[in-house]
Amino acid sequence: MDITKPNNLLYFPSSSIRYTFILKNACSTVKATLLNREGIGFNTMNVDEVHLLARAYVCHEAQEGRNFAVVRDPAKRFVSAFLDKIVANPRPAVWLSVVMHSSIRLSLHELVNSSSMEKLEIERLTFLDFCRAVALIPDVHLEAHLRSQSWFLAGRKHDHIISIDFPDWQRQLADLVGSKVVVVSPHGTQQYACPDNTFPGADTMTIGDLRNIFKLTGHLPSAKDFLSRKAIDLIHSRYKCDYTAIERLHSTNMWGYTGDG
């Protein structure tokens, strides 16, 4: 049975790049860099404008070009989505995709109230609770920011893969695109992450407590403070396909950009 691939391909003719974008993987900076190579002007302080302009470059699976994607450590990506979309900038579509799924009763049944809608009291969840909930839900039923990177990659063959966990990833991107990297104004967790160890044990803090800290200080714990052994195990189990794919990339010539493409 053929499985429909996600519509997440963009083709930029000036660089002959077919970009598989993955949410929470620096896609705004990558899009901005590719748009700049096309000669498109935009406000680097407006991330929404960048995403809107990039829509004009949506392409089909048959489009030829240098196939390119950006990956990221799954645990850091998950924490980023949790903080950015759940805590700091609450988006109902993100957490409703989790709390309204039937499997929630298996992982967090004690937090489901008795209302007719059986909604979850979101602010009572800890980060570990959220990890346990997402661990039981297939990608297709999750909001896009929480889906696995493998879901976005969709089994496609890529000529170049860049990891944003590598210190020189922006240099690799510039070499691949043939243009300077255009960084969109700090957004997402870049704006408010505290230094490591500011909030040790953050994985057991409730979303309500985290939101209160953010309201009072404008800051939130770093990814490291959330990633206890228990949290890492849950994330690794849920996103095992991503860890496997990234490990496989390390052993192939697809990893990074060598300048020969």
The whole-number pLDDT of residue 39 equals: 97
Query: Residues 179, 33: contact at Cβ < 8 Å?
Result: yes
Band (pLDDT 50/70/90 cuts) for residue 120 is low
Does 176 score more than 80 pLDDT?
yes
Nearest to 33 by CA among 182, 184, 210: 182
Alpha helices (H) in the chain, listed in sequence order: 27-37, 47-54, 74-81, 92-99, 104-107, 127-135, 149-153, 169-177, 207-217, 223-226, 229-238, 240-250
For the chain, give every domain's residue range.
Answer: 9-250
Q: H-helix or E-strand containing 71?
A: strand 66-71
CB-count burial class (<10 Å; 0-12, 13-18, 19+) for 146: buried
The whole-number pLDDT of residue 249 equals: 72
Please give the Cα distance from 246 to 91 (Å, whole number): 29
Query: Residues 180, 173: contact at Cβ < 8 Å?
Result: no
Query: Residues 122, 209: contact at Cβ < 8 Å?
Result: no
Quick one: average pLDDT of 88-94?
Answer: 77
The whole-number pLDDT of residue 28 equals: 95
pLDDT, one tens digit per residue, over 123-172 is: 888 999 889 888 888 898 888 999 999 999 999 999 999 999 989 999 99
Band (pLDDT 50/70/90 cuts) for residue 115 is very low
Is the pLDDT higher at 3 or at 152? 152
Please give the Cα distance from 246 to 41 (Å, whole number): 34
